[in-house]
Structure 1
Amino acid sequence: MSSDSAPSASSAPSAAWAPLTSLHDRAVLADRFGRDPELHLFELGDLDEPFWSHTAWYTASADGPVALLYTVGEVPTLLGLARPERTGELAGLLRAMRPVLPRRLLAHLTTGGVDALAPAYRAERRTAMLRMALTDRTALAPHLGRGAGLLGPADLPDLLALFAAGYPGNWFDERMLTAGPYVGIRDDAGRLVATAGVHVSSPRRRVAVIGNVTTHPDARGRGLAAACTARLCALLAEGGADHIGLNVRADHPTALALYRRLGFTPVTPYDETVLTAA
């Protein structure tokens, strides 16, 4: 395997059989992802700590797709997104990566990515997802002013209780409470009943990815998720985020409708898949 830089575009063989290249230069990676920031929000955010130290980046051509392997937690995450005209190159990259991948992983891959890893890997679970980006910030205004306030470390027990009731099995790291803003709404009794936070927020890269939008089952249908998401987006925009996005299940019409009302539009579909070596 080569390292640091790919061969020149004029000499690079096709992605289907090109040598796998490991990238280590954050400036090079930032330049690649910055050409399509809404597609690559997670990658741009992961160029900063505390994520960078747990990442490995691969490509198979000088200007082709880049895949990220994030090795935190029991199951590493593989991220490989490409626009439709480059899915063939992404497939070639993923085939080249099979020898360096762990035996079990969570993969976020655009069209053809999962198939490129077969038959070496089999899918345990496959969920159709949609990346969306905030493209109309004026749509946030009607949902502001509902009392969504900032959360901090002291709110962790209440936040965990809310997730257990309204979003069991979600991905959450308590460091998120300090790494990026989380907001919430409490009811008259002081119980936390709605929240929205970030998976990745990078002021340096001017990007943010919203996650863990949750409403307690007893408080749904009141617009609280919209209020929290709108407040969070406003805070992120005030902090300099030019590109704000989120991931949502493609088969969740309520969530899709919510985000469309808030000014989000689709960027790309992709599959979230748990893969195990065959």
Structure 2
Amino acid sequence: MKALSIHDKDKIAAFLRRHPFLHLYSLGDLDDFFWHYTAWYAFTKNDEITQLALLYTGTSLPVLLGLSEESTDLMKDLLHSIIHLLPKRFYAHLSRDVATVLADDYQIVSHGLHHKMALTNLASLDAFDTSDVIPLSVADEAELKEFYRVSYPENWFEPRMLETGHYYGIRHGGVLMSAAGVHVYSQSYRVAALGNIATHPQFRKQGLARVVCAKLCQKLLRKVDYIGLNVKADNSSAIACYTKLGFECVNTYEEYSLQLKPTAL
């Protein structure tokens, strides 16, 4: 089967909407805000997509999304057919054993199992007093960069996402104590993926992240239908936080860093 480069947003969206929470990031990347950073590869049958992979280049390190709804065989075949099109270095979100198909050509470092969580219990958000939460904007970029450097150094923060208007925080005495935003947001495709959620080390264990996330979700629900996030499977404290907000685990995948082997050059 031959992989095709796909450019038809409607066809891509129709495939992704079969499992919107699994493909939340990809659905958001159809938005014009992200679209020109995307390359889509697919298998098709009778002019319909049967398997789809996305290479996103809008971050400092390209990201490959290869998530399967059921069996991974078709996804492995798809990625094998486009290996020659992949960058020398990239990050990847892959279902179950999909990474094995890249092992001959790439050095692979696993970053562990991750859960996809979906906001399914909207009523849980009403339990939080969010009156102290304030919006953050592009004017707060420098402060947020320093905040994440101290609070979440391994975090991937793309300042461009502040342009969405969906970053929020809590300050005390002029100090940013906690913040949350989005990795992906699309009003057109009615999806949002939360990200950049952190609390300053001096202010942890006060429930601040839950309050900021509650405010963020309340605002997002005015414009989107699906809200989700990714969290490392062994991060029990974060999972407990999101569960209290009304999220539940809907899928598990693994994240990797990949570097092309010298023998494959």
**TM superposition score category, shorter chain reference:** over 0.9
- 2:67 aligned residue (76, 81, 87): 81
Higher percent of residues as strand: 2
| Correspondent of 2:38 among 46, 55, 77 | 55
- Superimposed CA distance per residue, residues 193-218 of structure 1 (whole angstroms, 9 cap, x where no aligned partner): 10110011101111000001110000
Deviation at 1:65, TM superposition (A): 1.9
The answer to whether structure 1 residue 94 and structure 2 residue 104 are counterparts is no
2:52 aligns with 66
Correspondence for 1:248: 231
**Counterpart-to-counterpart distance in 1, 2:221 and 2:120:** 12
Q: How far does residue 180 in structure 1 lie from its aligned partner after superposition? A: 4.0
Structure 1 outlier segments of 4+, above 3 Å: none
Mind listing any 5+ residue stretches in structure 2 that lack a counterpart?
Answer: none
How many residues align? The count is: 258
Structure-2 separation of matches of 1:135 and 1:19: 38
Q: Contact 2:110–2:254 (CA<8 Å) still a contact in 1?
A: no
User: Are residue 20 (structure 1) and residue 6 (structure 2) matched?
Assistant: no
Is the Cα contact below 8 Å between 1:184 and 1:193 reproduced in 2? yes
Does residue 1:217 correspond to 2:201, yes or no? yes
Is 2:146 aligned against 1:192? no
SS at match of 2:80: helix
- Secondary structure in 2 aligned to 1:47? coil
Give the partner amino acid of 1:149: I
Instruction: Let me know the Cα RMSD of the aligned residues.
Output: 1.3
Q: Check whether the contact 1:65–1:86 (CA below 8 A) recurs between aligned residues.
A: no
Shift of 1:144: 3.1
Output one character per residue of 1:25-77: Cα deviation in whole Å (capped at 9) or x when no partner: 11111111111111111111101122110111001233322000112344211
2-side partners of 1:180 and 1:248: how far apart?
A: 23
* Letter in structure 2 aligned against 1:155: D
How many angstroms does 1:146 deviate by? 4.5
The structural deviation recorded for 1:115 is 0.9
User: Structure 2: how far apart are the matches of 1:129 and 1:119?
Assistant: 24
The residue matched to 2:82 in structure 1 has which SS? helix
- Corresponding residue for residue 122 of structure 2: 137
